[in-house]
Structure 1
Amino acid sequence: MQSNAFRSSRVPLWLNVANAQRRLGFGTAASQALVASLISDKANAQKAANDDEDTSLPLGKSLKQYSTLIWWTLGMSIAILYGGFDSVILGSINSMDPFKEAMGEWGLNDDPDPAKRKEEWIIPALWMALWDSIGPFGQIAGTALGGWLLDIKGRRFCLLMGSTIGALGILELFFADKPNNKEYRRIMILIGKIIQGSGIGIIKMGTITYMSEISPTTLKGPIMGFIPTFTLLGQLIGAVVSFFMEKQTTSRGYLIAIGSQWLVAAPPFVMSFLLPESPAFLLLRNDKIKATASFRRLLGPTHSAQAAADKMARTMDEESKNTTAVTYLDCFKGSNRRRSLIVMFAGSVEFLFGLGLLSSVSTFLPQLNMKSSMALLFLIGGIVVGLIANSTSSWMLSHFARRQLLTTSFVAAATLWGVMGFAGIKQFEWTGWLAGGLCTAIIVVCGLGCWPASYAVIGETSSLRLRSKTVSLGSLMNNLTGILGNAVMPFLYQPDALDLGAKTGFIFAALSLIGAALSYLFVPELKGRSAMEIEHLFAKGVRSVGSSKWKDAHEEMPMRYMGAV
């Protein structure tokens, strides 16, 4: 599709050149300058036309056209496995009998059911709470540090640093059972979780930032949708490893589970040497030659690396009119304030649709009189269907608007949570089964909609100059809301607390409706928009409601001498 200015002209270029030469004289300097200008205008108009055409490519053709880039992003996505795998492994070893013996005390459990009370190895509740609450703060520290390091040392360095720190954390966890004093063992587990979480936070920051920077407009949503997909894949692999290691009756089981994390920490380490540096980082350092070389490796021989570097440089120059510095404080100045708040909202989407409860159904469903073994199957089944749903999100994100996916899936999730809440008003034998089925349905609905769409919003909303800082703010909000959910969740349904049971669904129905309202009122439609268009949208303060109809009145390529010929 050609630009409007060029499309409106019905005069072919050769006729414009001939007329100009006839008016000004063949071979004169003025004639030659005008001919060169007309040809340059034609080339610029054609380049703009090609850029416009790029945004309208269907998914299949985009994947074929950017096949080299897709392989790079798939390689980067393996780093996302690490976080999902880690969360399952470190959670599951707490229930392994040899680990409880190594870290716990012998005593009578406090199960509210007298028939289930017995003497066994019990890890003190204080240490369980510390591991689950303070441990994740390491990831927050890593996220904040990563947002700062990305613009100083680059994306590759952060992958190298994060994987190295993570490996050291795993080493700490692996040897935590060696001291004779169990208090020292527990302290080592806590320190290991904090160190490893810091490494994962840095890796996650580098990966999300890098993928969002290099993705073309047509593939921005599908590529960012890899993040929840590979997170779930990591959780599934972790669940399988935990399932087989749980049968071990010696320390070998939990040591193999802990040591297996080195295997998923290795890919980001290797990628830090193979990956070309982010062109956006190189342009921030005013190194356009290396940025062009980086694009050449990322895009392959079928694309113009120079044109890609020029386009990114123009966008960053436009952004620099509103933001000259690159600090966290600048994320809350001018139009960037709105962009940062939207990214922070997107980071809290998982909390709003209830991912915390959906991830702990193996603990939640037994409170509704379901056997623990069946509850574990619901957990694994939920991971599998969530993985399938998120795998198809690439198609959804390329065909449906972000606002549409967010609002409709939030409303659908609220409806399903509401059904669960009403089912819990009077509990029956089948209530647990209904709740399990509804949890699975919610995972499917959100896996097709708001979950991957939230990462697309994170990748599209922030400016290129402030990308690492803004993504860091979104990740911080994701971590903080996750910690809040993990801390509050047990008090909602445990028998010795509020004991809401299935009525917990009412709380998440309300949160999902809040998510739908915020999505409708405050998230503008960015699907199919270039970075330059998005910059103009926020600079002009376009309202979110109705933003899908907004068109950027960008300056067209001029046909300066059309009237003179």
Structure 2
Amino acid sequence: MAVSIKSEKLVYEVNEKERDGVSGASTDDTSSQASDDNRTLWENAKKYRKIVYVTFSLTSAILLYGYDNVIVATVAGMPEFQRDFGYKVKGKWILPATWLAVWLAASPLGAMLGAMLGGWVQDRIGRRLSLASSSFLSAIGVAVMFVSYIPTSPTSRRALFLVGKLLQGIAIGTNITAAQTYLSEILPPVLRASGMAFFPVFTCLGQLTGALVIYGSLDKKRGYVTAFGSQWPFSFLPIIVAFLIPESPAWYIRKGRHDQAFAAQARLEPLATDTKATIEKLTADIKHEEETAATTSLAQCFNKQNLRRTLIVLWVQSFQAIWGLPLLSKASYFLQVVGMSADKSIIFLIMGIVLGLLGNGVGIWMVARIGRRKLVLSTLSVAAGLWLSMGIANCFTAKAVVWFSAAAMMATVTICGLGVWPAGYAIASETSSLRLRARTQGLGWTVNAFSMAVSGIVLPYMYNPDAGNLRGKVAFVFAATCLVGVGVSWAVVPEMKGRSVAEVDRMFELGVAARGFEGWRGVVDGEVVVVESGSERDGVLGGGEEKL
């Protein structure tokens, strides 16, 4: 069918029967979406209160992820843990460097494996069972860590703790992938960005909980065991949640279980909603995707049709490593390296977590109101300036440099919490096709874990006095990565604020440039008119007449 492209508008003549004769459902969906766009975030949250309740219930999985992120690095500083798992050097207990490196790498490496397996497991047994089974595995991992102090041999203790960390990492990788896939499939377009912004918010809350628990257990005998045990509630809560929430309607439809899909959707939607129309529209979207490819293998994520979408997901999942989270999460130790006392550095660590939590709390509103692309570009630019100023300051030896470094790091985590941090989760959740969403999310979290693991291993060799000795000058590295992030994101990250699945699919099919997504307007079924203020190339790559 023909697509006419004009300088001031694009007119797409689309067959109204294109999506299996559900143009009526599409019209209802479009009018409902337009109505949602005219409401405030709070009004939409009240309208879709059932989905909001489900979203909040799944934050238990995110809390576990955040807690695990902080547990090893912080526990390693506890005197009791050093005594049970370390050895004495010149009268002081220290942890073997090799074992410490392995422990720090175990969780992200396990998460990589869990994320890869998670995509396959979700497609086989569903989102709910995947969430429940991975949470049960997490509880086993916590139990292994909880008893790791029992063996008499230090080597046996270290090895047992490593096994627990690996199991926990695998569980978290599968768990967090299942939660993100599920939410991306049930959240309406108007709440999708805000819902996905819960990930960094509750990650920070989990980190804060872990830091406070460990801080309160510093002087207790085997206080680290208490810290390990405190993860159990976060492991068991997702199991309870999995049996209370409905399965993803999209997963039921792909399995041909349409009656169950209808029942699940009815449990999620407001009472006055036409659930039949919603299911028809969702079925049409999935059928349209399946018509172009019959399988859902990982290889399909990298074929010509899906490669661009997959690469965008992989790119935004590396945002955290790009803007400096691996260094910020080790603020306590790093600030000691640049000259701050231990007690003050711990206070700044907790302060950074709180500021990140507050920033992401505001970011929930900003990603829904302002959009993803603008926030990514603007906050990465500001972060680059902050890192650059910190690097320049550390070229001098004044006492104030230490405090300026701490302030710059606190400002960076706040600014990124307002934009690029929550926006990355939103973009990752809405870019992939429904058919390949579980597999793509698994790939994305694999890249996330890999980038964080590599950064965590490499950074100490850059700033430690006995290695690269960059100290605070390591900030120059993140100034550079943030600037690269701005350039690449401007070229590849599209704006999908408020877009339906069908609209996103259509824009990727047409090859709409990243900077042209925001200006693309219209209904997918029927005649689509797009008014553009810029050139043709801002809307559709290639220009001229195209065939759909």
- Superposition TM-score, scaled by structure 1 size: 0.87
Classify the secondary structure of the residue corresponding to 1:548.
coil
Alpha-carbon distance in structure 1 between the residues aligned to 2:465 and 2:285: 56
Secondary structure of the 2:92 match is: strand
Aligned residue number for residue 171 of structure 2: 199
1:356-404 CA-partner distances (Å, limit 9, x unpaired): 1111110111122111111111110010011011011121011112110
Query: Deviations 1:416-469 (Å, cap 9, x if unpaired)?
Result: 000001101112111110000000100111000100000000111011110001
Q: Which residue of the other structure, out of 94, 97, 122, is the alignment partner of 1:122?
A: 94
Q: 1:96-175 counterparts in 2 under 5 A?
A: 96-108=78-90, 119-175=91-147
- Superposed counterparts of 1:487-498, under 5 Å: 487-498=457-468
Query: Contact 1:55 / 1:529 at 8 angstroms: preserved in 2?
Result: no
Question: How far has the Cα of 1:130 moved from its partner?
Answer: 1.1
CA distance, structure 1, for counterparts of residue 473 and residue 116 of structure 2: 37
Out of 487, 497, 520, the position equivalent to 1:527 is 497
Matched residue type, 2:372: R
Q: Distance in 2 between matches of 1:268 and 1:426?
A: 50
The match for 1:409 is: 379
Within a 5 Å distance, the mapping from 1:49-128 to structure 2 comes to: 49-108=31-90, 119-128=91-100
**Separation (CA, whole Å) in 2 of partners of 1:305 and 1:80:** 29
> Number of aligned pairs?
507
Shift of 1:203: 0.7
Q: Report SS of the residue matched to 2:292.
A: coil
Return the match for 1:482 from 452, 477, 480.
Answer: 452
Q: Percent identity?
A: 36
Asked whether the 8 Å contact 2:387–2:476 carries over to 1, the reply is yes
Match of 2:186 in 1: 214
Task: Provide the C-alpha distance between the structure 1 equivalents of 2:64 and 2:470, rounded to a whole number of angstroms.
Answer: 34
Provide Cα deviations, 1:35-58, integer angstroms capped at 9, x if missing partner: xxxxx9989755643344334433
Cα deviation for residue 89 of structure 1 reads 2.4
Deviation, structure 1 residue 547: 2.5
Per-residue CA deviations over 1:202-237 (Å, capped at 9, x if unaligned) read 110110000111010101100000000010000111
Structure 1 residues 99 and 335: alpha-carbon distance in aligned structure 2, compared to 1, 3 A threshold: same
Cα RMSD for the two superposed structures: 1.7
Deviation at 1:303, TM superposition (A): 2.2
Give the number of the structure with larger relative contact order, counting CA–CA contacts within 8 Å between residues 6 or more apart. 2
Deviation at 1:475, TM superposition (A): 0.4
Deviation digits for residues 462-505 of structure 1, max 9, x if unmatched? 11110001111110110000001100111121111111122111
Counterpart residue type for residue 77 of structure 2 = S
Counterpart amino acid of 2:285?
A: T
1:434 is matched with 404
Task: Please say which of residues 311-320 and 287-296 is displaced more in the overlay.
Answer: 311-320
| Secondary structure of residue in 1 paired with 2:450 | helix
Q: Which residue of 1 aligns with 2:474?
A: 504
Judge conservation of contact 1:363–1:375 (CA < 8 Å) in 2: yes
Within 5 Å, give how 1:261-340 maps onto structure 2.
Answer: 261-340=231-310
2:502–2:524 CA contact under 8 A, matched in 1: no
Aligned-partner Cα distance in 2 for 1:371–1:299: 53
- For 2:13, the equivalent position in structure 1 comes to none
Comparing 312-321 with 152-161, greater Cα deviation is found at: 312-321
Cα distance between partner residues in 1 of 2:92 and 2:149: 19
Give distance in 1, aligned partners of 2:433 and 2:23: 29
* Deviation (angstroms), 1:525: 1.3
**1:86 CA displacement:** 1.8
Give the direction of change, closer, same or farther, for the CA distance of 1:43–1:286 in structure 2 (3 Å limit): closer
- Residue-by-residue CA offset, 1:255-301 (whole Å, 9 max, x unaligned): 11111111111111111111111111101101111111001111242
Find the partner of 2:434 among 443, 464, 470.
Answer: 464
- Which of the numbers 335, 339, 350 marks the counterpart of 1:380? 350
- Are 1:69 and 1:298, in contact at CA under 8 Å, matched by a contact in 2? yes
Q: What secondary structure is seen at the aligned counterpart in 1 of 2:246?
A: coil
Aligned 8 A contact 1:73 1:211 in 2: yes
Q: Output the CA distance in 2 between the equivalents of 1:546 and 1:357.
A: 35
Is the Cα–Cα contact under 8 Å of residues 322 and 334 in structure 1 kept in the other structure? no
Superposition map of 1:28-67 within 5 A: 45=27, 48-67=30-49
Listed as ranges, the gaps of 5+ residues in structure 2 are 1-21, 529-548
Which amino acid in structure 2 is aligned with residue 89 of structure 1? I
- Matched residue SS, 1:106: strand
Alignment equivalent of 2:156, drawn from 160, 184, 196: 184
Match of 2:18 in 1: none
Q: Secondary structure at the match of 2:60?
A: helix
Residue 244 of structure 2 corresponds to residue 244 of structure 1: no
User: Which residue in the other structure is 1:12 paired with?
Assistant: none
> 1:554 maps to what in 2?
524
Asked if the contact 1:335/1:541 (under 8 Å) is kept, the reply is: no
SS at match of 2:125: coil
TM-score (norm 2): 0.90
1:333 Cα deviation after fit: 1.1
Instruction: Structure 1 unaligned segments of length 5 or more: list them.
Output: 1-39, 109-118, 559-565
- Taking the aligned partners of 2:285 and 2:24, their CA distance within structure 1 comes to 22
SS of 2:58's partner is helix
Could you tell me which residue of structure 2 aligns to residue 351 of structure 1? 321
Match of residue 544, structure 1, among 509, 514, 517: 514
User: Who is 2:532 aligned against?
Assistant: none
Separation of aligned partners in 2, 1:214 and 1:48: 17
